[in-house]
Amino acid sequence: MYEELTKILKESDNIVFFGGAGVSTESDIPDFRSEQGLYNAQQAYGMSPEQMISHSFFLRDTETFFDYYKNNMVYPEAQPNPAHLALAKLEEMGKLSAVVTQNIDGLHQKAGSKTVYELHGSVLRNFCMDCGASYDLDYVMDPDRCEGHIPKCEKCGGIVKPDVVLYEEMLDDAQIRGAVDAIGGADTLIIGGTSLVVYPAAGFVNYFRGKHLVLINKSSTSYDGRADLVIHDPIGKVLGEAVGNL
């Protein structure tokens, strides 16, 4: 199967990669929707992860939101894994035109990818809700910049909010358009590390009209029957080996 993927990569000139949490778990970033993530949230806070990172909860209990967010959604020490590096190499080779990701960790860019559509935003970008001033992750994580767990703007004292799409919030229009255009124009779409159950992002796959649809995920998905190639192995291993043989 890996040889077949390498063959597809060789004959493709406009590859788009669509990825989810499974890409980041190989960089030791846990999936907050996993059984362990659900258990941890229920044990510590008595709520589901989806409740904890919702827009309404952010407004209602900002202090607890940031306590959960900083301890469960931010992993500043995480490094790109072989999947991130393989995709950056494909782009450098001129074969991959874009990465569309549901992850918020910025690891694709850290690996060297240039064209990345972040559907759910990024923990690396933060802004003051009052004056719009921008801040990096270090600022948000610095206790001296916070009241309790809440980061405050050094210019106006407003709350500094992560540029992350919370539950109940809309996806960014520019990211949606970029992702849809990229997927619609691709000759090969590789979907990796996602079970394709989170909408509206999962619906973006329906815009693909190209030649090869490849699915790489440890477990089966509802889209497996539509794919030309399905590989149920760790994505870092699969992409690392396939791209390495180009």
pLDDT band at 235 (very low <50, low <70, confident <90, very high): very high
114 three-class SS: coil
pLDDT band at 36 (very low <50, low <70, confident <90, very high): confident
CATH, residue 25: 3.40.50.1220
Angle at 36 between CA 33 and CA 39, to 5 degrees: 90
Q: For 13-22, 49-58, 194-203, 214-223, which range has the lowest pLDDT when averaged over its residues?
A: 194-203
Identify whether residues 107 and 25 lie together within a single domain. yes
Cis check: omega of the bond before 80, within 30 degrees of 0: no
pLDDT band at 40 (very low <50, low <70, confident <90, very high): confident
Identify whether residues 65 and 187 lie together within a single domain. no
Identify whether residues 160 and 133 lie together within a single domain. yes
| pLDDT (average), residues 48-75 | 95
| pLDDT (average), residues 200-219 | 90
What is the overall mean pLDDT for the chain?
94
**Backbone φ and ψ of 135, nearest 5°:** -140, 150
pLDDT above 70: percentage of residues in the chain: 98
CATH, residue 147: 3.30.1600.10
Quick one: pLDDT at residue 47? 92
What's the whole-model pTM score? 0.94
Identify whether residues 211 and 97 lie together within a single domain. yes
Identify whether residues 227 and 176 lie together within a single domain. yes
Q: Write out the DSSP string of 60-113.
A: H-HHHHHHHHHHHT--TT----HHHHHHHHHHHTT-EEEEEE---S-HHHHHT-
Q: If we measure between CA atoms, which residue out of 117, 110, 140 comes closest to residue 24?
A: 110
pLDDT band at 42 (very low <50, low <70, confident <90, very high): confident
Quick one: pLDDT at residue 222? 85
Quick one: pLDDT at residue 203? 86
Q: Which domain holds residue 174?
A: 2-29+77-120+169-244
Identify whether residues 35 and 84 lie together within a single domain. no
| pLDDT (average), residues 153-181 | 97
Structurally, the chain folds into a number of domains equal to 3
Identify whether residues 221 and 101 lie together within a single domain. yes
Identify whether residues 101 and 178 lie together within a single domain. yes
| pLDDT (average), residues 174-184 | 97
- The catalytic residue among 120, 149, 212, 232 is 120
| pLDDT (average), residues 51-66 | 97
pLDDT above 90: residue 179: yes
pLDDT band at 33 (very low <50, low <70, confident <90, very high): confident
The tens digit of pLDDT for each residue in 123-164 reads 999 999 999 999 999 999 999 999 999 999 999 999 999 999
Identify whether residues 133 and 211 lie together within a single domain. no
Identify whether residues 107 and 205 lie together within a single domain. yes
The tens digit of pLDDT for each residue in 74-120 reads 999 999 999 999 999 999 999 999 999 999 999 999 999 999 999 99
Rounded-to-integer distance, Cα 174 and Cα 154, Å: 29
Quick one: pLDDT at residue 202? 75
Quick one: pLDDT at residue 181? 97
Catalytic residue at 120? yes
CA-CA distances (angstroms) from residue 186 to 93, 96, 156?
Answer: 16, 9, 45
Domain closes at, from 59, 74, 89: 74
Quick one: pLDDT at residue 101? 96
Identify whether residues 191 and 226 lie together within a single domain. yes
Q: If we measure between CA atoms, which residue out of 100, 79, 75, 68 comes closest to residue 166?
A: 68
Identify whether residues 81 and 107 lie together within a single domain. yes
> Tokens at residue 166, please?
């919370």
